[in-house]
Amino acid sequence: QKEVEQNSGPLSVPEGAIASLNCTYSDRGSQSFFWYRQYSGKSPELIMSIYSNGDKEDGRFTAQLNKASQYVSLLIRDSQPSDSATYLCAVNPLRGNTPLVFGKGTRLSVIA
């Protein structure tokens, strides 16, 4: 059973702080990793993808991958109230076009 685990939260951070969201996955052979943001009542929106160990930065977002520890994280710098949402970690256990395995998501609340 391929699993992706996330702390459900809520994670509350003050405006301007760094929010750190974490995810672990069970399938050591997993190939690609994604973070989606989902606002209440909306569908998931892709934020970042990461494929190799290390950090990947895109604006205020940094994804970090450690395949040895089966761990992927998302850092949000200078958090804004508009970042308040549920963040879904998703893992592709195979290569190419195959279904993703999703975590249940971490709810982030950025307090102004």
Partner 1 sequence: GAGVSQSPSNKVTEKGKDVELRCDPISGHTALYWYRQSLGQGLEFLIYFQGNSAPDKSGLPSDRFSAERTGGSVSTLTIQRTQQEDSAVYLCASSSIDTQYFGPGTRLTVL
Contacts of 7 (CB under 8 A, 6+ apart): 22, 106
What count of other Cβ atoms lies within 10 Å of the Cβ of residue 77?
13
Please choose, out of 21-29, 41-49, 67-75, 76-84, the segment that lies near partner 1 by the rule CB under 8 A. Answer: 41-49
Per rule CB under 8 A, is residue 2 in the interface with partner 1? Answer: no
Specify whether the CB–CB gap between 76 and 83 falls below 8 A.
Answer: yes
> Of 105, 106, 108, 110, which one interacts with partner 1 (CB under 8 A)?
105
Q: Write out the residues near partner 1 by the rule CB under 8 A.
A: 31-32, 34, 36, 42-46, 49, 88, 90, 92, 95-105
